[in-house]
Amino acid sequence: MKRAVCPGSFDPITYGHIDIITRASAHFDQVVVAVLENRTKSSLFTVAERIEMIRETTSKLPNVVVDSWSGLLVDYCKSNNIESIVKGLRAVSDFDYELQMAQVNLQGSGVETMFMATAPTHSFLSSSLVKELAHYGGDVSTMVPSSVNEALKLRVAGK
Ligand code: PNS
């Protein structure tokens, strides 16, 4: 069985993530969406909340499962016999960091990273931008599914 992991902090999941997960699911027998810690970011939602949002918004994709891991991504891949990492590339600004991570991951463990070009409609979209807009009452309804939008409204209102 060919399995791939789509890793990320998913804080929260956006239509950009869903696009990559959906397209990856057409190329692998199973795609594991793994919520991992990004030590450079602070999170708005707990891991359990993020998992729930991903499960709900990818529920129509039968070969997608959701998991979490605290540790190195390559250790997750090794523990779960996953040989491929799939990541979306939005713009040149993503490239430097993503290339470094892909090379470190390859060198350390032989796990391959495959980059998928983000759909042009999502090229500016990020969870950080969504959180910033939501914080100031901006409209993010075209960027995240409605359930995520509702969760964001509640969270920025302090609930
Ligand atoms: O959605 P993000 O925040 O861009 O995802 C980044 C993430 C979580 C995939 C990355 O930080 C990660 O892989 N974290 C786990 C620890 C790890 O393996 N770091 C990479 C070492 S080069």
Q: Mind listing the pLDDT tens digit for each residue in 47-74? A: 999 999 999 999 999 999 999 999 999 9
Task: Tell me how far the alpha carbon of residue 114 lies from the centroid of ligand 1, in angstroms.
Answer: 15
> Is 146 inside a domain boundary?
no
> Is 69 inside a domain boundary?
yes
> Is 156 inside a domain boundary?
no
**Residue-averaged pLDDT of the chain:** 96
> Is 113 inside a domain boundary?
yes
> Is 51 inside a domain boundary?
yes
Q: Is the CB of 8 under 6 A from ligand 1?
A: yes
> Is 56 inside a domain boundary?
yes
* Atom number, ligand 1, closest to the C-alpha of residue 127: 1
> Is 45 inside a domain boundary?
yes
Tokens of 22: 């959906």
> Is 14 inside a domain boundary?
yes
* Among 156, 158, 150, 154, residue whose Cα is nearest residue 56: 150
Task: Determine contact, residues 34/61, Cβ cutoff 8 Å.
Answer: no
- CATH code of the domain in which 76 resides: 3.40.50.620
If one residue of 9, 11, 126 were mutated to test the ligand 1 pocket, choosing by the most ligand atoms within 8 A of its CB, it would be: 9
Enter the pTM of the model: 0.96
What are 24-27's contacts with CB under 8 Å, separation 24+? 24/86, 24/116, 25/61, 25/63, 25/64
pLDDT < 70: residue spans in the chain: none
Predicted pLDDT at 108: 83
Predicted pLDDT at 37: 87
Range of the structural domain that residue 96 is part of: 3-122
Total structural domains within the chain:
1
